[in-house]
Amino acid sequence: MSNVVEMTIVKAINAGLRKALAESDKVLIFGQDVAELGGVFRVTEGLHAEFGQKRVFNSPIAEAGIVGTAIGLAMRGYRPVAEIQFDGFVFPAFNEITTQLAKLQNRSEGFLTMPVVVRIPYGGGIGAIEHHSESPEAYFAHTPGLRVISPSNPNDAYWMIQQAIKSEDPVLFFEPKRRYWQKGPVDLDNPPAGMHDAHILRNGTDVTVVAYGPMVATALQAAEIAAAEGRSLEVIDIRSISPIDYATIIESVKKTGHLIVAHEANVSVSVSSEIAARVAELAFYHLEAPVIRVGGFDVPYPAAKLEEKFLPDADRILEAVDRSLGY
């Protein structure tokens, strides 16, 4: 019988980290304020007290140094979990991530492995100041050598953080910060499929809606509204941004003939752009309308008082549904 408990995403990640720390003394957690404070969002709360200063510790405010330290620790056989406090602060570490972390395994012909997890709270919707509401996932999905994943619910958060830590490849773990307090069931005994497998969260027949991270809840809300209007949306949470489980998407598109891809990030040269191109290549004769992308507008993330106009909502997804079915 499964051991299922109700948790928020914050508590689920915390529980997953605790389990990983308990299972291996090679797992280390560090970043700005992650120790006694438990991080800005309290994701690591209690771990320092339980596992001690040598396993969970604070770092200087130096993101390049945080990732560089993680790389060095991985070379010495550790499995570091580094936190970047906010999405917009990952850019000072961009060089370390894309030119070192992503390439060392290939550069050493497999002699070195990089079992590094970089945790990044991302996305908007929390009324934050500048540099605290970015969606930089496409930069890293573009970089060979990195795995990029994002849970949308507590069960995935609990299991995917553990799967990421066990990976021999570097994993960027994007945490949807505005969904941190979303509650849901967590099965503590039975992990879901692999961390790169997409999940169909709602079956439908008219339009396929693909989303990930914070936009999954919005897509499900749109599907509820559409159902009341007599339209059936199939909602897919891809869970993994790199690599992407295209097989699941293609099978759904073969059934519905229509595809909408939704995320918070800007639409131009985005994850949705790649999905649209790949589906057009692999399922062209099954599409009854062009793939439609729904995302943030192509402007810098606005001030907090305007973010609700910037972020895609259920209405924008439903408007895309109308356009797709209207072709």
Task: Point out the residues that are catalytic.
Answer: 132
Q: Is 323 exposed, middle or buried (0-12, 13-18, 19+ CB in 10 A)?
A: middle
Place of tokens 């949807």: 176
Residue type, 170: P
Question: 79-83 and 27-31: which strand pairing?
Answer: parallel
Measured distance CA(276)–CA(272) in Å, rounded: 6
Peptide bond before residue 151 is cis, with ω within 30 degrees of 0: no
Question: 117-122 and 183-187: which strand pairing?
Answer: unpaired
Question: In 14-43, which positions are buried (b, 16+ CB within 10 angstroms) versus exposed (e)?
Answer: bbbbbbbbeeeebbbbbbbebbeebbbbeb
